[in-house]
Structure 1
Amino acid sequence: MEETDPLRAAREMRRAVLGDAYVDGVTADPDQAGRDFQDFITAMAWGAWARGGPLTPRDRSLLVMAMTAALGRMEEFRLHASSSHRAGVTDAEVDELLFQIAAYAGAPAGVSAKRTIKAVREAREEARR
């Protein structure tokens, strides 16, 4: 994909929220099609984050977590839940989000999200030790 200012901004936002280690890992694909796919994901999804507007990175993080939980995409939910602090989301806000997920996406989505949050927090505590 052509290197443009919007793509650079999207890459910077992705790194700021998900961290260098994660981004380096998923973008190091030796396959050109894999690299092209990552550029597409970066431009599409992270371009929406980098474009500015009235939603803050915190708002966007909460929305992504709510949508991925509602869709049952727990791998993506875990990724964003693990990184949400970099976007300014507090544990208390995530706890409240779980109620919204359960109320609007159903109890199974809420329970899965709660389990994932518990595992994310346990891993975070283990890393601190």
Structure 2
Amino acid sequence: MAEIGDRPAGEGIPDGERWANGMRVRREVLSDEHVDRSIANTNDLTADFQDFITRVAWGDVWQRPGIDRRMRSVAVISSLIAHGHHEELAMHLRAALRNGLTVDEVKEVILQSAIYSGVPAANTAYRIATEVYGPF
């Protein structure tokens, strides 16, 4: 049985505090510019989703103690490559640098993904990385 200190991030924390913590981490990882643009584009259709990702993804999962932000970036980049989420991939390639990865490390993550996600997926990821970082 888990001890109170071992609770997952966000458990027992009021939603308003989870949202504030999530917004702080979201801004640190994705940049103020990106988050401000997302918030400015929020409408009646997307408001609940914006609240959800801020509280749950950024307020809970991204703050769990098990792995650091560098490792989370590797996991996210790998998953986005595997699933072909190209717009999100570009955003998280930029975030990876803020989380302490180097361009050379990202290059290796993409190469590793070629084995498990396929050469076409890695090829597309290299194209997107080149658009984000410029030529390697």
Could you say which residue in structure 1 is the equivalent of 2:3? none
CA shift at 1:60, angstroms?
A: 0.4
Q: Residue 32 of structure 1 aligns to a residue in which SS?
A: coil
Corresponding residue pairs, total:
121
Q: Which moved more, 1:33-42 or 1:12-21?
A: 33-42
**Residues 76-115 of structure 1 mapped to structure 2, 5 A cutoff:** 76-115=88-127
* TM-score of the superposed pair, with normalisation by structure 1: 0.86
Q: In the alignment, is residue 16 of structure 1 matched against residue 28 of structure 2? A: yes
The 5 A counterparts of 1:1-129 are 3-29=15-41, 31-46=43-58, 47-50=60-63, 52-122=64-134
Equivalent pair of 1:28/1:35 in contact (CA under 8 Å): no
Counterpart in 2 of 1:126? none
The alignment-based identity, stated in percent, is 35
CA contact 2:42–2:50 (8 Å) conserved in 1: no
Q: Cα offset for 1:3? A: 4.9
Cα distance in 1 between the residues matched to 2:30 and 2:42? 21
Query: Unpaired runs of 5+ in structure 1?
Result: 124-129
Task: Return the offset for 1:41.
Answer: 1.6
For structure 2, the 5+ residue unaligned runs are: 1-13
Q: Measure the CA separation in 1 of the matches of 2:53 and 2:80.
A: 15
Q: Check the 8 A contact 2:15/2:55 in 1, yes or no.
A: no
Larger Rg: 2
CA distance in 1, matches of 2:76, 2:54: 15
Say if 1:79 and 1:5 are closer, same or farther in 2 by CA, change over 3 A.
same
